[in-house]
Homo-oligomer: A and B are copies of this chain.
Amino acid sequence: MVRMSGADRRQQIVDTAIEVILRRGIAQAATRDVTKALGVGSGLLHHYFPSWAELRAEAVRRAAQSEMAEVDTMIADLPASTAIRCLADWMVEDDDMRHWRLWLNAQDEAHRDTLLAEVMVTALRNWHRMIANLLRRACEEGSAHIPDADAAAWRLIALMDGLASTMLVKDAPITPQVARDLILSQIKLEGG
């Protein structure tokens, strides 16, 4: 095996863990999947991460961060009203729902895993801040009248979570198209 510096190897392991988790789902992903994908021995993984729980949490943290950053740049230069519609589209266009799968699986696993819980709470707060700010911007730009942007943001986030969770069930009554419409109608209800 090629020899790497500690920092690089660590990074590479996290990257691979993200891929594995996206492919197999959090509950099904195992340390062996990661070491196999990297072609390294099992001991190497534990040399850098004391436990699978820690690696997993780190992977989810990084995945969540990069996803947030992606959306942030996507909507940064758009008028708020456009950005909001973009967000609804983006939620549905996620190919094969991979990112939603990651997010929802992680949320479920977080009910049992303290490390993951911390990661999810942080990510959740970040999403809330971003969406609440977006709603406030819409008000300032005159394209919306939302009395309580914080509450509205929580409602929107919960709605998206709930819809996504249902969409992922086979033959669910909620299709991506329906979900998108429900989100847009919710935004109208909020005063958008």
Contacts and interface: CB of A to CB of B under 8 A. Distances in A.
Interface string A159-189: 1111101101111111000100110011001
A155 B166 CA distance: 12
A163 B162 CA distance: 8
A168 B108 CA distance: 9
Contact of A128 (B25, B162, B173, B185): B173
A107 interface: yes
Contacts of A47: none
Interface of A: 25, 27-28, 101, 104-105, 107-108, 110-112, 114, 117-118, 120-121, 124-125, 128, 151, 154-155, 157-163, 165-166, 168-174, 178, 181-182, 185-186, 189-190
